[in-house]
């Protein structure tokens, strides 16, 4: 079920947030770049990822000011304003201390917050993140000036079709449904103009000097072969943050909910809850047994070679409903496409 959206007041703007789960600790997810609370729940891989986080925490989600459901702003917010947004959300949900899970650009913001407000931070997780956005003489993993220019030039194309940016998540490249959702997510998250301004602001990020001052237990997660931020960024963070634990995971995708999401989730749960977290199966809500009757029916027809339109006509439902059921089934079965579904049908007992 999609959680209710509420608003916290932060020095003027209203910040949209959601809360789900009733676990023993508060976990604040700090998304990278742009986000949209409602559109996020339309993507089965992401919604499964969020529900899994909420299975061992009280998960707190929010859209940063100027993005998603939060108030628009004329200029990109400063780090100080974004930290004020985090404090406002924590206050609104009655959280005295929370673990911060920063994805991509959310990593540096979470790092700065933990150093500035250690009394409000219980732990830090940085996934697919970095200390500095642009390359420097002693930081070779950042973006070159040409890469920065190419990134800015590709924003409008990404917002129109999703094709450009999705290349950084190769596992999803062949998934047309995911590409359409990704483009919608970006458009809902921010306008192209605001996105460009945010990229220019992110290009100024450099938190190298404060890394030795991070005062909380820290987990750094990075996929070794990911295409967006080189794993050297994660290694640098872990080497400079006191007692940080680095876990390199196999994979090429930047966002954690694409590819082997369960590997990411297990590391987070083990770090926050401990080695003796409650026992579960190999994945949360995963496997043929997790399929609903309707999903199983549609999957079998798809394995037989019927298109979404043919299945919709046969079952007297819309083709969009068929695609939604298939997308949910793909998540539960651990497949990424119809081709993989057909190839693994016998293995999956279909």
Return the structure tokens found at 88: 């406002």
Helix axes 145-153, 192-202, angle to 10 degrees: 170
317: domain CATH number?
1.10.10.10
- How large is the greatest C-alpha to C-alpha distance in the chain, in angstroms? 62
Return the structure tokens found at 39: 């559109």
pLDDT of residue 165: 61
Tens digits of pLDDT across the chain (350 residues): 679 999 998 778 999 999 999 889 999 999 988 999 999 999 888 998 999 999 999 999 999 999 999 999 888 888 889 999 999 999 999 999 999 999 999 999 999 999 999 999 999 999 999 999 899 999 999 888 888 888 888 787 777 776 666 667 777 666 788 888 888 998 999 888 888 888 888 888 899 999 999 999 999 999 999 988 999 999 999 999 999 999 999 998 899 998 889 999 999 999 999 743 444 444 445 678 778 888 889 989 998 889 888 998 898 887 767 877 787 788 778 776 777 888 888 888 88
pLDDT of residue 201: 84
| Together in a domain, 210 and 330 | no
| 114 within 8 A of 215, measured Cβ to Cβ | yes
Of 247, 273, 299, the position where a domain reaches its end is: 273
Give me the sheet containing 245-249, strands edge to edge: 6-9, 14-20, 58-62, 26-30, 98-103, 121-127, 218-223, 245-249
| 84 within 8 A of 43, measured Cβ to Cβ | no
| Together in a domain, 223 and 321 | no
84: domain CATH number?
3.40.50.1820
Q: How far apart are CA 219 and CA 223, in angstroms?
A: 13
pTM of the complete model: 0.80
Q: Is residue 234 part of a domain?
A: yes
Q: Is residue 245 part of a domain?
A: yes
| 226 within 8 A of 264, measured Cβ to Cβ | no
| Together in a domain, 262 and 309 | no
| Together in a domain, 331 and 214 | no
| 254 within 8 A of 227, measured Cβ to Cβ | yes
Q: What separation in angstroms does the CA of 13 have from each of 39, 85, 88, 199?
A: 21, 9, 10, 21
Domain region containing 58: 6-142+202-273
Angle, CA of 238, 107 and 231, to the nearest 5°: 50
Task: Of 190, 201, 194, give the one whose Cα is nearest residue 80.
Answer: 201
Q: Is residue 117 part of a domain?
A: yes
Of 229, 250, 273, the position where a domain reaches its end is: 273
Q: How far apart are CA 338 and CA 113, in angstroms?
A: 43
Q: How far apart are CA 317 and CA 69, in angstroms?
A: 31
């Amino acid at each position: 079920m999609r959680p209710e959206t509420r608003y916290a007041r932060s020095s003027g703007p209203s910040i949209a947030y959601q809360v789900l789960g009733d676990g023993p600790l508060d976990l604040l997810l700090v998304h990278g770049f742009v986000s949209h609370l409602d559109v996020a729940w339309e993507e089965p891989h992401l919604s499964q990822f969020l529900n899994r986080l909420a299975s061992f925490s009280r998960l707190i989600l929010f859209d940063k000011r100027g993005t998603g459901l939060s108030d628009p702003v004329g200029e990109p917010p400063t780090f100080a304003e974004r930290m004020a947004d985090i404090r406002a959300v924590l206050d609104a949900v009655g959280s005295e201390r929370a673990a911060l899970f920063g994805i991509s650009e959310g990593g540096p913001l979470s790092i700065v917050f933990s150093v500035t407000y250690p009394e409000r931070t219980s732990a830090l997780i940085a996934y697919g993140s970095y200390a500095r956005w642009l390359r420097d003489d002693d930081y070779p993993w950042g973006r070159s000036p040409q890469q920065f220019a190419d990134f800015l030039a590709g924003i409008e194309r990404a917002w129109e079709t999703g094709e450009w940016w999705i290349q950084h998540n190769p596992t999803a490249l062949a998934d047309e449904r995911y590409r359409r959702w990704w483009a919608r997510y970006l458009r809902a998250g921010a306008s192209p103009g605001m996105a460009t301004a945010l990229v220019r602001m992110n290009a100024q990020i450099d938190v190298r000097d404060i890394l030795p001052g991070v005062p909380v237990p820290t987990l750094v997660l990075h996929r070794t072969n990911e295409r967006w931020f080189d794993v050297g960024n994660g290694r640098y963070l872990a080497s400079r943050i006191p007692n940080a634990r680095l876990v390199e995971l196999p994979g090429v995708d930047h966002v954690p909910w694409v590819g082997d999401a369960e590997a990411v989730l297990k590391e987070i749960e083990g770090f926050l809850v401990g080695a003796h977290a409650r026992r579960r199966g190999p994945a949360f809500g995963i496997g043929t047994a997790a399929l609903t009757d309707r999903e199983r029916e549609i999957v079998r027809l798809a394995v037989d070679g019927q298109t979404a339109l043919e299945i919709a006509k046969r079952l007297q439902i819309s083709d969009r409903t068929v695609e939604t059921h298939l997308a949910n089934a793909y998540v539960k079965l651990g497949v990424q496409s119809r081709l993989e579904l057909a190839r693994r049908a016998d293995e999956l007992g279909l």
